[in-house]
Amino acid sequence: MVAGTLLINNFSVHVLFDLGATHSFIARRNVTKLRKGVEVVEKGFVIRTPMRDMVETNIVYVGVGVSLSGYEIEVDLISLELHDFDIILGMDGLSKYKALIDCYTKTVTFQTPEGERMIFEGERILKLIALISVVTA
């Protein structure tokens, strides 16, 4: 896992790049920072939290701009009660930009649609963090 700080609408957010998460999430406390409206999807999500609770939702923030190395990537974010991070970028957002995570160097390499590569340098995490898994309902 790699963690660090990114910008959303000029607000700094603490982000986790998580290959174990199938979807991307935003902490409920941060949804007011988004300039995107809520989209209600017909087929919702059942989310298993680190505490093994099941949470259902059909609310997604679509096309949220996240600033990365001077380039803005767009991700869809599901609102969830998060404590350790503001955003978790899962496989849906990472695969869209052909992200490669190097756990040893704590870097994430993204590729733009034009083929340009961007490298995000993460910070060291000193404590273990519980992961989230999602199943589509």
* Residue (of 97, 105, 41) closest to 72 by Cα position: 97
How high is the pLDDT of residue 85? 92
With a cut of 60, say whether residue 131 has pLDDT above it: no
Q: What is the dihedral of CA 34, 36, 40, 43, to 10 degrees?
A: -90
Range of the domain at 65: 2-136
Instruction: Determine which of 9-23, 75-89, 106-120, 122-136 has the lowest per-residue pLDDT on average.
Output: 122-136
Asked if 51 and 28 count as a contact pair (C-beta separation under 8 A), the reply is no
Domains: count for the chain: 1
Instruction: Give dist(CA 88, CA 79) in Å, integer.
Output: 10
How high is the pLDDT of residue 16? 92
Task: Render pLDDT for 55-112 as a digit per residue (tens, 0 to 9).
Answer: 888 888 888 988 887 788 889 999 888 888 999 999 999 999 999 999 889 999 999 8
pTM, two decimal places: 0.82
Q: What is the CATH number of the domain that holds 40?
A: 2.40.70.10
Which pLDDT band holds residue 125 (cuts at 50, 70, 90)? low
With a cut of 80, say whether residue 12 has pLDDT above it: yes
